[in-house]
Structure 1
Amino acid sequence: MKGRCDKKAHLTGYKAGDKLWVTDPTAAAGETLQWTKQPVPEYRADHPSSPPFLRYGHTATEYAGAAYIFGGRNEASVCNRLYRYDPYVDKWSRIAHGGMIPNARDGHAATRHGHCLYVHGGYDNDMEEFSRDLFRYDFREGVWHACALCDRWEGMHRDFHALSTVGDKLYLFGGKSDELEPYYSNRPVYDNHLYVYDPAAERWDRREAKGEAPGGRRSHSAFVIDGKLYTFGGLNCLAGEHYNTVHRYDPAANRWRLLRPHGRPPPVRRRAVACVHNGKAYIFGGTSPLIGSPMPAKSPAEEEDEPPLVDHSDLHVLEILHMAWAACGLPVPRHDGLETRPLLPRPTVGRRRPPARPKVRREVDHLRRSQSIFVRQRYGAQRPPLSDRHQ
């Protein structure tokens, strides 16, 4: 999750416990950063001012000084509700929304354009398949709308990609699809094309960009500064690589460039969050292989376990003007208090089917679902274990 409301960055997300942490990047002209732990009310399922339940795979988008949380899941539940956090009054609220509400999902991508929130892709829990749908939520109307499908190219059913607003268009990059899309067969496909959606024309296009384009990856970070799109980090399981490189895409020149900032970069990682303030990118957290345990490359059909992983709680600043990294030596947020020591390695989750979990009660297209079950059984598709999709 990432979000920026006025002058403070609000960070929470993957297994972050039940706390909301706030850092103020304006303190002492950006030289002294401060973390503050915000109290979070207890989750109450049907209460209008309840915060979201603990989750991962969700998105956070800023609008009118507030953060809007959509989707996500944990081992027990999956969600398609829309929540709002107002930092000025420190209050959560559940937003009443109507129209064509997206199915419950996680691993989707989201961005704001004007007065609308756009949500693309992810893993659709109701249909048990990867999605390529694009939805638009109008903050003024409180209504969801279905947008034009990106169905002209293969591999658009995907999750853990990035959707960013640059100017008057939306840019989609990265993520992971499957050879048997939209179903899961543990044969991942990574795509490094750049897809552009024009909200005014309701049309998708694919850019054949020049320059040093990043390779296919998922769970990377993306942010926009001065009309240019930046990507950081990510993971490609087929190549057996995590990344800590920074690429910049210039829409005017239709060109990628691999940047080489001065200073010490963050260790390779995926699942880091990125916030922008005053022309600087703040990179927080993420997950890396434990040092000395390289991730082996594997064929699409293999199901090798990953090496031991370590979750980070560090904060790095990328200064675009001077093109330099700066590490922030401030206490970092943990669910059990402020600490500066590194996190212990997180044990690798075994490749086992998770216990049954309740579904969000929604009406689905039963004919389409019966067809999808037939296809999965015939071609060897399967329901993805959480350990496969979220490691």
Structure 2
Amino acid sequence: MGTDSENWYSALEYDQWVALPVAGTRPSARYKHAAVVVDEKLYIVGGSRNGRYLSDVQAFDLKNLSWSTFALSTKSDAENVNDSTLIEVFPAMSGHSMVNWGNKVLLLGGHSKDTFDNVTVRFIDLESHVCGVMEATGKVPVARGGQSVTLVGSKLIMFGGEDKHRHLMNDVHVLDLETMTWNVAETIQTPPAPRFDHTATVHANRYLQIYGGCTHSIFFNDLHVLDLETLEWSQPQVQGDVVSPRAGHAGVSIDEKWFLVGGGDNKNGASETLVMDMHKLVISVLTNVKGRHPLASEGLSVSSAFIDGDQFLIAFGGYNGKYNNEVYVMRPKPTDSIHPKIFQSPAAAAAAASVAAAYDFKNIDSKPKVDLSVEINVIKEEKKALESTIKEVESENSLLMEKLKDLKGTHVDLSKELHSVQNQLASERSRCDDLEAQILDLQKKLSSMQSIEQQVQTLRSQNSVIKQDMELASTAQTQGSGGVWRWIAG
């Protein structure tokens, strides 16, 4: 595959990553940047390298496979632009999100040296090369990085992230791009645990899906779904291959498939490229890379590109012990035509074939009519079987809910018992502290008594000596007096 070929992509095999032979100078290696493909060009904004935030904007032409620096200016008469907030130099940032909106790309969130209280919405006009800040009103979310931002119609859905104080969040905010107004989504049921560096996509223009991510110590491999009409959270069971927890991965959806690339757990990079069937909720390993491959990195980006009628995945950057700046491309196998689930069985397929044969409009007069009663009966039987299965699942779910209720009750009892034990331990600790204080006081008194005992012994010794001296003196006096009287008498 040479760089002078304008149709290099036509020879690619399906579902295999290939490094593109880039012509000219590459941008500096980085991770936690933002990327999007617009009109067969991959745009890269910011990122981080060696603890330093980056502010450059780079464009990669997917036709001639060459990089160029995207020069910016700040002169603008665009609507919804606050001229007083236009920036002279695009700010250095990392962990931000970027989406394509019309002839602009919008950037939200991210960490930078400049601290902000709330999320800022920046724009880059791809035609005029103007950049600036778009004024937004309403309930503007607190500033954060590592969040996900998903475009649904004319609205941006922001979930989670980490604020400047390293506090993790699991809130949902909605930005209406037509009115530039923020709102908080008041969701119901159990939301995902607070996290950052996860991925998000939307299925059927209604279901926001959140996959993976991490706290400061825990990595996730769970899937959470938010119904954007009812604002109800759920955590469906994902079937298929067992997938290790990961964060810092990248994701992009094409039709019913959600491709997940890279990520890791701060110890090992995730070598698998995963694909999730969003309709069936089945995840599988599409391909693997070996060793410290750039695609087994945290903080890489993956985007989808539409070139001459074919879809491609474009991956860039990441960190897996070293920073990367290579461009990788994959040509995913085209998705089969999507049919309702009832047409998946052989009987239903036969019925569909019969219908197609019966209503072949090219030869409508030459084809005999087909009796569909047998196929319809088969479908009805399958419907009954499915309804029976649903009832069994509902019954099992009811039993599980009862068990969960019992477990919750047990948990409450154990919590009360634990609280009682903790109170007893606190009381015993207080008693121990009092006893230690009494022991220390007695030790001091004992030490004082020993000193007094020594003084008493000394005084007793002195008293004994004095008594002896007095007895000797008395004896001597007595003997002296007798002698005098004997001398007088004689």
Q: Which residue of 1 aligns with 2:459?
A: none
RMSD: 2.9
Bigger proportion of residues as helix: 2
Q: Are 1:315 and 2:267 matched, yes or no?
A: no
Q: Which residue of 2 aligns with 1:123?
A: 111
After superposition, the Cα gap between the structure-2 partners of 1:66 and 1:130, relative to the gap in structure 1 and judged at 3 Å, is: farther
Q: Are 1:132 and 2:90 matched, yes or no?
A: no
CA distance in 2, matches of 1:178, 1:115: 31
The question of whether the paired residues in 1 share the 8 Å contact of 2:33 and 2:47 is answered with yes
| Secondary structure in 1 matching 2:212 | strand
Q: Which residue of 2 aligns with 1:39?
A: 21
Matching residue within 272, 277, 296 for 2:249:
272
Matching residue within 50, 53, 62 for 1:78:
53
What amino acid is the match of 1:57?
Answer: K
Instruction: Give the alignment's TM-score, normalised by structure 1.
Output: 0.64
After superposition, the Cα gap between the structure-2 partners of 1:158 and 1:81, relative to the gap in structure 1 and judged at 3 Å, is: same
Residues 305-358 of structure 1 deviation map (CA, whole Å, 9 limit, x = unaligned): xxxx111221111011221011124445855899xxxxxxx78xxxxxxxxxxx
Q: Which residue of 2 aligns with 1:375?
A: none
Residues 16-74 of structure 1 deviation map (CA, whole Å, 9 limit, x = unaligned): xxxxxxxx9x988xxx51121112356xxxxxxx4320111201012123221101121
CA distance in 1, matches of 2:156, 2:143: 17
CA distance in 1, matches of 2:93, 2:195: 20
Q: Are 1:231 and 2:210 matched, yes or no?
A: yes
Matching residue within 45, 58, 67 for 2:33:
58
Alignment of 1:100-111 (within 5 A): 100-101=86-87, 102-111=90-99
CA distance in 1, matches of 2:150, 2:295: 33
Q: Which residue of 2 aligns with 1:261?
A: 238
Q: What is the aligned-residue identity percentage?
A: 22
- Could you list the runs of 5+ residues in structure 1 that have no partner in the other structure? 1-23, 43-49, 180-187, 290-308, 339-345, 348-391
CA distance in 2, matches of 1:204, 1:235: 26
Alignment of 1:60-209 (within 5 A): 60-75=35-50, 77-99=52-74, 100-101=86-87, 102-125=90-113, 127=114, 132-149=119-136, 152=139, 156-179=142-165, 188-209=166-187
| Secondary structure in 2 matching 1:276 | strand
| Secondary structure in 2 matching 1:200 | coil
Q: Which residue of 1 aligns with 2:200?
A: 222
Measure how far apart 1:255 and its partner are.
2.2
Measure how far apart 1:214 and its partner are.
1.2
Further displaced range: 143-152 or 247-256: 143-152
CA distance in 1, matches of 2:34, 2:164: 22
Q: Which residue of 1 aligns with 2:310?
A: none
The question of whether the paired residues in 2 share the 8 Å contact of 1:150 and 1:156 is answered with no
After superposition, the Cα gap between the structure-2 partners of 1:124 and 1:178, relative to the gap in structure 1 and judged at 3 Å, is: closer
User: How many corresponding residue pairs?
Assistant: 276
After superposition, the Cα gap between the structure-2 partners of 1:233 and 1:337, relative to the gap in structure 1 and judged at 3 Å, is: closer
Measure how far apart 1:277 and its partner are.
2.0
Q: Which residue of 2 aligns with 1:244?
A: 221
Indicate the structure (1 or 2) with the bigger Cα radius of gyration.
2
After superposition, the Cα gap between the structure-2 partners of 1:92 and 1:256, relative to the gap in structure 1 and judged at 3 Å, is: same
After superposition, the Cα gap between the structure-2 partners of 1:122 and 1:336, relative to the gap in structure 1 and judged at 3 Å, is: closer
CA distance in 2, matches of 1:229, 1:336: 28
CA distance in 1, matches of 2:259, 2:294: 23
| Secondary structure in 2 matching 1:195 | strand
Measure how far apart 1:135 and its partner are.
0.7
